[in-house]
Amino acid sequence: MREEKVYTEPEILEKLKDYPGWELKDGWIRRTYRTPGWAHTLMLANTIGFLADAAYHHPDLVLGYAQLTVKLQTHRVRGITDHDFELARRIDEVVLWKPPPGSVLEGYPKKWIE
């Protein structure tokens, strides 16, 4: 296994400028997603779980009725590495996706994941 760069707090804060909605708190990068309700929160948790398992990099998840908080940290080094930033990017790409205007796919008619 190659050596991983563990980012310092100033480096993390700089990198997070490219990750809207993500913050550094208590040694984790985290983001809270709002959902239309409980069923969507569970689907969101399963989607994130699937992505994380495929990446073999597992976040902590905190679920509420209409929200889910993702907390990322590379456990083996107890810090933030490129693994965390890459999984954060992939999670955002997948869970925030909606069909573009004019698409044959209509998209969910109510409030979506934000």
Q: Please tell me the total number of residues recorded for the chain in this structure.
A: 114
In a domain, 49, yes or no: yes
Grade residue 114 by pLDDT with cuts at 50, 70 and 90.
Answer: confident
In a domain, 107, yes or no: no
Total domains, the chain: 1
Grade residue 52 by pLDDT with cuts at 50, 70 and 90.
Answer: very high
CATH code assigned at 78: 3.30.1360.20
Q: Are 72 and 30 in contact (CB under 8 A)?
A: yes
In a domain, 59, yes or no: yes
Continuous segment of H or E residues that includes residue 55: helix 38-55
The model's pTM is 0.91
In a domain, 113, yes or no: no
DSSP symbols for 27-38: TEEEEEEE-SSH
In a domain, 21, yes or no: yes
Grade residue 85 by pLDDT with cuts at 50, 70 and 90.
Answer: very high
- Shortest CA distance to 46 belongs to which of 61, 28, 66? 61
pLDDT tens for residues 56-84? Answer: 999 999 999 999 999 999 998 999 999 99
90 lies in which domain range?
Answer: 9-95
In a domain, 100, yes or no: no
